Each structure stands twice: as structure tokens, then as C-alpha cells.
């Protein structure tokens, strides 16, 4: 799993590979089958409501295909960089 400390992450899946999985309420990992022409939107920590709860992130991302993992992180604006550093970086 990739921890999203920003606002949100947009993921454009490869239509030929089912690489993204989600954990269901039973604790099972199930494939998120790509839908052509769509993006997956993961809500980041800065957009989550805070109800005095502790959310524990998963500790790893598992590469099953044997191929290269392709991703690009983008942070917009100095304010966002400072917000992340002040709130999430030890």
C-alpha cells in the first residue's frame, strides 16, 4: 500500500493488467478490475475527516507481476509541502 499523506491520488490503471487490489470488509484482497477510460481516486489524509480515531496504514506494497512498478508522485505548492512536513514527517 502506498500511504497518501496528501489530498488525493488519481490512478490511471493499465487496461491490460489487473494490478490494483483492495481489501474488503472480510479482510480479503480482491482485484479492482480496470474500467477503460476511468481513474481510481484515493482520498488522502488531508481530506479525511478526523473523528478522534486511529487509522493504521498497511505496511507494504506487493509486486506480483514481476514487472516494474510505475508511479509518479506530484506535490503541488509549497503550502502542501510544508503541511505534510509539519504534520506527517517525524
Average pLDDT over residues 8-36: 81
pLDDT of 30-82, one tens digit each?
888 888 888 887 777 666 665 555 555 554 555 666 666 555 555 555 666 67
- Distance (Å) of CA 25 to CA 18, 22, 28, 89: 20, 10, 7, 29
Q: Which pLDDT value is given to residue 73?
A: 53
Q: How confident is the model at residue 9 (pLDDT cuts 50, 70, 90)?
A: confident
Q: What backbone phi and psi angles, to 5 degrees, belong to 82?
A: -65, -40
Overall number of domains in the chain: 1
What pLDDT is attached to residue 48? Answer: 64
State the pLDDT confidence band at 7, using cuts at 50, 70 and 90: confident
Domain that holds residue 82: 1-90
Amino acid at each position: 500500500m502506498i500511504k497518501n499523506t496528501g489530498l488525493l491520488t488519481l490512478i490511471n490503471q493499465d487496461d491490460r493488467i489487473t494490478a490494483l487490489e483492495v481489501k474488503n470488509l472480510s479482510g480479503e484482497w480482491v482485484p479492482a478490475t480496470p474500467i477503460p477510460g476511468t481513474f481510481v481516486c484515493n482520498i488522502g489524509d488531508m481530506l479525511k475527516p478526523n473523528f478522534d480515531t486511529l487509522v493504521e496504514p498497511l505496511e507494504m506494497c506487493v509486486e506480483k507481476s514481476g514487472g516494474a512498478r510505475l508511479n509518479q508522485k506530484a506535490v503541488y505548492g509549497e503550502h502542501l509541502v510544508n503541511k505534510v512536513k509539519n504534520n506527517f514527517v517525524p
